[in-house]
Every structure is written in C-alpha cells, then in structure tokens.
Amino acid sequence: MTQRVEIVRRIMDSNERVALENRALLDKKGTYGINIMASPGAGKTSVIMETLRRLTPHIRAGVIEGDTAPVTIDSDKIAALGFPVVQINTGGDCHLDAVMVDLALKKLDLDQLNLVIIENVGNLICPAAFELGTHANVLIASIPEGDDKPYKYPNIYRGLDVLIINKIDLLPYLDFRMDYFSQGVEMLNPGLKTFPLSCKTGEGFDAWIDWLTTTLPAKA
C-alpha cells in the first residue's frame, strides 16, 4: 500500500509540474485557457459551440477536445464552425491530464489565439484531481442531472472558478429544486460565479459571454 501511495504521489507531482509549465506558456502567449468539465450529456459541446458562435470577431479561439475513444464527432462539429481544434484520445482514461494538454497546446498557434477552451472527458470525479494549467476551471451542470450533484460530487465543486447551469429551459418540466442545488454549491464554494443558461433558447448567454470577454487579456 505504501508503494502504491508513493507512485500516485509521483504521478500527481509530475502532473502539477507540467500544469505549471502549461500555465506559463499560456501566460507568455497572452492566451486565456479554460477547462470545461461536466458529466456525460450535460451539454459541454453544445455550450462550447454556442459560445464560439457568440464571440465577437476580434476574439480568436481554439478548442482542445478530450474523448476516451478515437472518435472525432465533437471535433468535427467545432471544425465546421471554422475554429482550430485538436483532438485528444485518452485511451480510455476518465480525464485529461497536463501532459496530454501540453502536447495539444503545441499543435495550436497560440500566438494567434486569445482563448483556448478545453473540453475535458465527461466525468464528475477524475477531472477534479488533475490540474491542466488553465486559468479557470468551469463546470457545466444540467437540470436533467438532478439537484443533488453538489452533495454527491463535492470535490469537483470545490475547485471551480465558474459554474454554468445548462438546460434551464427544462425547469418547468423537471423536479429540480434550484434553492437546494444552490445551497449545496454555496456550502462547497461560497460566492461561486454562476451562469444559468440554455443552449436551446439562448437565455443567459449574454451574461456568460460578457464575463468571458471582459476576462480575456488584451492581445495585439
């Protein structure tokens, strides 16, 4: 058991070192990086695509897509919008790590990008443990998942910078207690910046885009 703990510690230390290098590279290039996490089906790709559509022309964005299998379904959707995208196949792993992101960043022309959006693997446990070197960790929670997720998966909520609540157009049809959900989030991450929105109706996207746009560093 001691040997296993030591191996895990070395893996995490190595990941942290590469994450710091990734962050330094992004800072050097003046590129803002966000790590988007969610459970499968929460709408990560839909939110990313709607975000890209709504960015002003002077914001140049690239995307890193993480998947457990060598499929390019989501990457193809991003590419069809005209944005550079790099696919990462984790080989079955339930999360991205800093080394994978390092390799992907080297395939993007960061000199030309204000923003890099990383779509992590759909999972509420593993991604919380691995820093990637981004400036912000963003979680997409969705109404159909239920209002108990902060209570069941507290670790991923503790490490967040931004929370997006997706599919709010379904609130009238599902038994989702927003006050109960928000109470759980507040206990874990007081004052967390939160954006309720809907990819179907567009509701809430203006506030999210305004925040993202004003957060990006100036770039020539």
- Residue 1 has a pLDDT of 52
- pLDDT tens per residue across span 69-83: 777 889 999 999 999
Position 186 in a domain: yes
- Residue 4 has a pLDDT of 53
Residue 104 structural domain: 2-215
- Asked if residue 92 has pLDDT above 80, the reply is no
Position 220 in a domain: no
- Residue 13 has a pLDDT of 80
pTM score: 0.93
- Asked if residue 155 has pLDDT above 50, the reply is yes
- pLDDT tens per residue across span 163-214: 999 999 999 999 999 999 999 999 999 999 999 999 999 999 999 999 999 9
User: Confidence band (pLDDT; 50, 70, 90) for 220?
Assistant: low
Where residue 184 sits, what CATH number does that domain have? 3.40.50.300
- Residue 7 has a pLDDT of 45
- Residue 69 has a pLDDT of 78
How far from each other are the two terminal CA atoms of the chain, in whole angstroms? 52
- Residue 73 has a pLDDT of 87
Position 112 in a domain: yes
Count of domains in the chain?
A: 1
Position 172 in a domain: yes
CB 177 within 8 A of CB 143: no
- Interatomic CA distance for residues 37 and 44, integer angstroms: 7
User: Confidence band (pLDDT; 50, 70, 90) for 93?
Assistant: confident
Q: What are phi and psi of 203, to 5 degrees?
A: -60, 135
- Asked if residue 5 has pLDDT above 60, the reply is no
Position 111 in a domain: yes
- pLDDT tens per residue across span 8-60: 466 578 999 999 999 999 999 999 999 999 999 999 999 999 999 999 999 99
Position 108 in a domain: yes
- Residue 192 has a pLDDT of 98
Position 132 in a domain: yes
Position 117 in a domain: yes
